[in-house]
Amino acid sequence: MHDPRVLLDPATDAVRKLARRGFSLDVTALEKLLSSRNSAIQRGDDARGESKRVATSVKGAAPEERAQLVERARELKGVVAAAEEEHRTLEAELQDLLLGIPNLPLDELPDGASEDDAQLVRTWGEPPTFDFAPLDHVDLGERLGILDLPRATKLSGPRFAVLKGKGAALERAIARFLLELHTEHNGYTEFSVPTLVNRVSMTGTGQLPKFEHDLFKTGVGETELYLIPTAEVPLTNLHAKETLATEELPLAYTAHTPCFRSEAGSYGRDTRGLVRLHEFSKVELVRVVEAERSRAELEVLLGHAEAAMQALGLAYRVIKLPAGDIGFSAQITYDIEVWLPGQQKYREISSCSDFGTFQARRAGIRTKSKEGARGFAATLNGSGLPIGRTLVAILEQGQQADGSVQIPDVLVPYTGFDKLS
């Protein structure tokens, strides 16, 4: 969330920056709300000040004056109450307006609003070549007897999956490998967190109010809870309404959780297989850092996600998303795209984003230095990695002419087998 004064400061250039991501900032409405709110605050303060002076005057006033002063004190009490009520109403309206304004994209991002406008940063590994027509992961999984989509549909409907036998074992192995990689080699602390969170937590990381249509929600009685779309939500909100000592930063957290997304607006896209499910699991990476370090820390985070890809031997590329294609809370995003032979194209497997202080302002995550300097933290997150899409890439890049699939060497200690056949 933004400081409205910063948005209105010409030096911020907010109108231009937001226009790059397709958002039109209503400066007039923002100025009017801010001015009206400040006026209500000032009226209340003025009335309180006069009320104190009147109270002091009453003590030494003559009887005929005292009655007038008491009446004035009563009037001022009403003015204060009315000003406070107006302040509360205008503050709520201002907050609603600010909650709907996305983060400002960094100027280094390319222009555009689609993957075609993304900037290629680098590639790693050679996409495998085959002397046969490669299959996609659905055909491979069904032939190998590890993927059962029809029964998943019977249980829950479309966009769910059932993995069985060695497929389920491979899924578990990927998660274990990723958690150990990030905790033992990359310095992350592993957490087990709730997958049901409250509205305040969803608002803190920017899923609410804008993306309510894309969330699964449940509740019992008066309790309203949301199923997390990513572990970013609980991991970041662990420190909501807290002040962190700068010498303790950066904080690096990871968790393996189920994730739930309705994928509203995406129907007709990736309806086949494991690429876009309503329920999937993911190992998430979250970093909480000093604000001035966030851009550099994004490179660190990206490096950790890339290390997982390289350890698995999966050919991929890194792109920098254009200003019009980054997420609501992000100021810059890198996507890691893995090569899928079954589709003959690169597909997103991890997004690594720097949110600056945007989420921290919404969630109230502050910092304080030894010298007493205060501010807001910066937050970052990235997929490190999603289990389903990683499994898809392993199946497709590891397929052999005889119909088997070679498992990455680093996973063999976790699976107990080196091949699916």
Active site residues: 261, 276, 348, 351, 389
Instruction: Report the SS3 class of residue 36.
Output: helix
The whole-angstrom separation of Cα 49 and Cα 29 is: 30
Question: From the centroid of its chain, how far is CA 280?
Answer: 16
Tokens 């010498």 -> residue: 247
For residue 97, list its beta bridge partners: none
The whole-angstrom separation of Cα 148 and Cα 163 is: 6
For residue 346, list its beta bridge partners: 339
What is the DSSP pairing of strand 243-245 with strand 223-227? unpaired
Biggest distance spanned by C-alpha atoms of the chain: 107
Q: With both helix axes pointing from N to C terminus, report the angle between 63-99 and 27-60 in degrees, rounded to the nearest 10.
A: 160
Q: Could you tell me if 305 and 285 are in contact, meaning their C-beta atoms sit under 8 angstroms apart?
A: yes
**Closest C-alpha to 407, from 419, 415, 416, 399:** 419
Question: From the centroid of its chain, how far is CA 211?
Answer: 11
CA dihedral 180, 334, 239, 366 (to 10 degrees): 140
Q: Which two tokens stand for residue 331?
A: 């100021």
The whole-angstrom separation of Cα 205 and Cα 3 is: 16
DSSP state of 131: S
Instruction: Report the SS3 class of residue 197.
Output: strand
For residue 112, list its beta bridge partners: none
What size, in residues, is the chain? 421
Q: Which two tokens stand for residue 288?
A: 């909480």
The whole-angstrom separation of Cα 64 and Cα 73 is: 15
Q: Does the bond joining 209 to the residue before it have cis omega, within 30 degrees of 0?
A: yes
